[in-house]
Structure 1
Amino acid sequence: MSVLVVTGTCTGVGKTIVTAALAALAATRGTPVAVVKPGQTGVGPDEPGDLDDVRRLAGIDDVHEFARFPDPLSPAAAARHAGVPPVSLPTVVDRVRELAETHRLVLVEGAGGLLVRYDDEGATVADLARWLGAAVVVVARPDLGTLNHTALTLEAMAHRGIQLAGVVLGEWPDEPDLAMRSNIRDLETISARPLAGAMPAGSGALDAAEFLVAAHRGLAPAFGGAFDAATFRDSFGLTKENP
């Protein structure tokens, strides 16, 4: 059994798409997989949330949302504004461990970035990963500004002794600009390893069959895909002579 936590360098970077891709590849291999969203914010009671996207794209129904708050805020602030108890991450740990007893893979998608608060005591996704002893997939933006965000995220993880499973670009466009192309090599330098994937922009609009193909192409073999970081890098002429 294995637990992977998916976080981002900030909000809106493609965490849900990467989570769905990880789930789709696991499911197609016949791996019993469950997906957990400890706290969904910015979505009303009857509106589709992130797990509905995972269900649609990955074709799995074993999804678990533990709390929902209507305001588009951090989980701690959203709970406070709604006047309801916050998400209890220690309780989430217990429930994820229960799922891990019957599933070979449990994916846990956080809200926002690594250090977004879930309660007023300051519990974060970093704490959740540490308590679970889980490795973390970091989803990053490809564009200008991502280097600082990614470096800060990885530094915070290293400071807490959290294992990095890989850095994945959540939305890679068909026509990347100069900054995006240049960032490939710098992101690999920051993380001290090759990129673990790059999901095509617009993947969330695909049907399940098309999405599985995109997931296979967009994630590295460690996650069940065929993404090759060297080939990806070389396709943009990023050699030592032309960084």
Structure 2
Amino acid sequence: MSTVLFVTGTGTEVGKTVVTAAVAGIAPGRVAVVKPGQTGVAPDEPGDLAEIARLTGRQFTALELARYPEPLAPDTAARRSGLPYLSPAAVASAVASLAADHDLVLVEGAGGLLVRYDEHGHTLADMATATAALGVPVAFLLVTTAGLGTLNSTALTAEALAARNLPLTGLVIGSWPAAPDLASRCNLSDLPTVADAPLLGALPAGAAGKPGEPFRTLAAASLAPALGGTWTEASLG
């Protein structure tokens, strides 16, 4: 894995936080997880980092750089709240600092790749570009859905990354259904084709209900060796 792995999704509610927790839960060495912009959470409420801590049951460095109370895109949430916007330079500086003394830094974005974070339209992709400009190797992990409709959104995200010369390590299905339909089965081979990147795992639906050691065991079985697990497509039966 790259020193810094940005985790994005094809949209909201696709399983980014669970996948981030799965990778963090089984990664060797010192791990840091960064949430650049947390939205829809009050100052005293637990956010995605707290959920990752609950799921993994392990120690890691957690860093949240901005929090906005309304469940909106970060730029809109910042504007409406009157709180400061989050710049790519600020994120890059924080991530590079963590990368200096951690074996893996995971950066979980909000929504999809091109969700705006500030008044200039900067996105998670810009944060990754700014980090790479500091000499830190970066790559992306794309969390996608299993069923009908996933191919177009996956292809669009992969194309956007390629246009920015941002490497895509692979794809992970954020929630694999207990009873997959024909489209889901076909997408196991079609997703890597449209993204030009390997499928590196599939978290079963309901994985978030098994925190701690059960979750880490499940994560190891649901992620491919490139992410520290033992998963292969044949694991899905």
Normalising by structure 1, report the TM-score. 0.91
Report the RMSD for the aligned CA atoms in angstroms: 1.3
Please name the residue that 1:21 is paired with.
22
CA deviation string 1:54-106 (max 9, x = no partner): 11112224111111001110110100011121112211100111111111111
Report % sequence identity: 52
- Please give the alpha-carbon distance, in whole angstroms, between the structure 2 residues aligned to 1:131 and 1:221: 29
Q: Output the CA distance in 2 between the equivalents of 1:2 and 1:107.
A: 9
Matched, 1:116 2:120: no
1:145-224 equivalent positions in 2, closer than 5 A = 145-224=149-228
Q: Find the aligned partners of 2:142 and 2:122 in 1 and give their Cα distance.
A: 18
Looking at structure 2, the residues matched to 115 and 191 of structure 1 have their Cα atoms a distance apart, in angstroms, of: 17
Ranges in structure 1 where 5+ consecutive residues have no aligned partner: 236-243
Q: Which runs of 4+ in 1 moved over 4 A?
A: none
Cα distance, 1:84–1:193 mapped onto 2, change above 3 Å = closer
Question: Could you tell me the TM-score, scaled by structure 2's length?
Answer: 0.94
2:140 paired with 1:142 = no
The reply to whether residue 35 of structure 1 matches residue 25 of structure 2 is: no
Distance 2:90 2:197 in 1: 33
The answer to whether the aligner puts 1:228 opposite 2:226 as a matched pair is no
1:91 matched to 2:95: no
Preserved contact between residue 169 and residue 198 of structure 2 (Cα < 8 Å): no
How far, CA to CA, are the matches of 1:221 and 1:183 in structure 2? 21
Structure 2: gaps of 5 or more residues: 133-137
Number of residue equivalences: 230
Separation (CA, whole Å) in 1 of partners of 2:83 and 2:187: 42
What residue is the counterpart of 1:57 in the other structure?
A: 55
Deviation of residue 183 (structure 1)? 1.4
Q: Deviations over 1:118-165 (max 9, x none)?
A: 001011011112222310000001111111100000000011101001
Shift of 1:168: 0.4
1:160, 1:201 → 2: CA distance?
Answer: 32
Deviations 1:156-210 (A, max 9, x none): 0011101001100001011111221121111021123431110111111112111
User: Is the CA contact 2:113–2:157 (under 8 Å) kept in the aligned structure 1?
Assistant: yes
- Asked whether 1:44 is paired with 2:48, we answer no
Shift of 1:232: 4.3
Amino acid in the other structure paired with 2:175:
E
- Residue number in structure 1 paired with 2:135: none
Residue type at the aligned position of 1:16: T
Contact 2:31/2:60 (<8 A) preserved: no
Q: Which residue of the partner structure matches residue 102 of structure 1?
A: 101
